[in-house]
Amino acid sequence: MSGLAAPPLGKDLLGLEPLTSEQIKLILDTAEPFKEISERAIKKVPTLRGATIVNLFFEASTRTRISFEFAEKRLSADTVNVASTGSSVQKGETLVDTARNLEAMRIDMVVIRHGASGAAQFLAERIESNVINAGDGTHEHPTQGLLDLLTLRDHFERIAGLKVCIVGDVLHSRVARSNIWGLKKLGALVAVCGPRSLLPNAIDELDVEVFDRIEDAIEWADALNVLRLQLERMQAGYIPSLREYNRVFGVSRERLERAPRDILILHPGPMNRGVEIDSHVADGPFSVILDQVTNGVAVRMAVLYLLSGGKPELAEAAKRGSSR
User: Nearest approach, Cβ of 290 to other proteins (angstroms)?
Assistant: 28
For the chain, the maximum distance between any two Cα atoms, rounded to a whole number of angstroms, is: 59
User: Nearest approach, Cβ of 186 to other proteins (angstroms)?
Assistant: 18
Complex with other proteins: residue 34 or 57, whichever CB lies closer: 57
Q: Is 119 in the site for other proteins (CB under 8 A)?
A: yes
Q: Is 292 in the site for other proteins (CB under 8 A)?
A: no
User: 3-state DSSP: the chain helix, strand, coil percent, rounded to 5?
Assistant: 45, 15, 40
Q: From 168, 278, 154, select the one nearest 225 (Cα to Cα).
A: 168
Q: Is 17 in the site for other proteins (CB under 8 A)?
A: yes
Q: From 18, 319, 303, select the one nearest 143 (Cα to Cα).
A: 303
Q: What is the CA radius of gyration of the chain?
A: 20
Q: From 122, 119, 219, 203, select the one nearest 169 (Cα to Cα).
A: 203
Give every CB contact of residue 166 below 8 A, 6+ residues apart in sequence. 173, 176, 179, 180, 190, 191, 192, 193, 224, 225, 227
User: Nearest approach, Cβ of 304 to other proteins (angstroms)?
Assistant: 24
- The interface with other proteins within residues 123-152 (CB under 8 A) comprises 136-140
Q: Which of 35, 65, 163, 174 binds other proteins (CB under 8 A)?
A: 174
Query: 66-69: long-range contacts (C-beta < 8 A, 24 or more apart)?
Result: 67/293, 67/296, 67/297, 67/300, 68/111, 68/132, 68/134, 68/143, 68/300
- The interface with other proteins within residues 86-105 (CB under 8 A) comprises 94-96
Q: Which of 57, 122, 245, 249 binds other proteins (CB under 8 A)?
A: 122
Rounded Cα–Cα distance for residues 90 and 82 (Å): 12
Complex with other proteins: residue 38 or 117, whichever CB lies closer: 117
Q: Which of 114, 185, 267, 311 binds other proteins (CB under 8 A)?
A: 114
Q: Which of 8, 10, 200, 312 binds other proteins (CB under 8 A)?
A: 200
Q: Which of 91, 201, 285, 313 binds other proteins (CB under 8 A)?
A: 201
- The interface with other proteins within residues 203-222 (CB under 8 A) comprises 203, 205-206
- The binding site for other proteins (CB under 8 A) comprises 17, 94-96, 114, 116-119, 121-122, 136-140, 174, 177, 200-203, 205-206
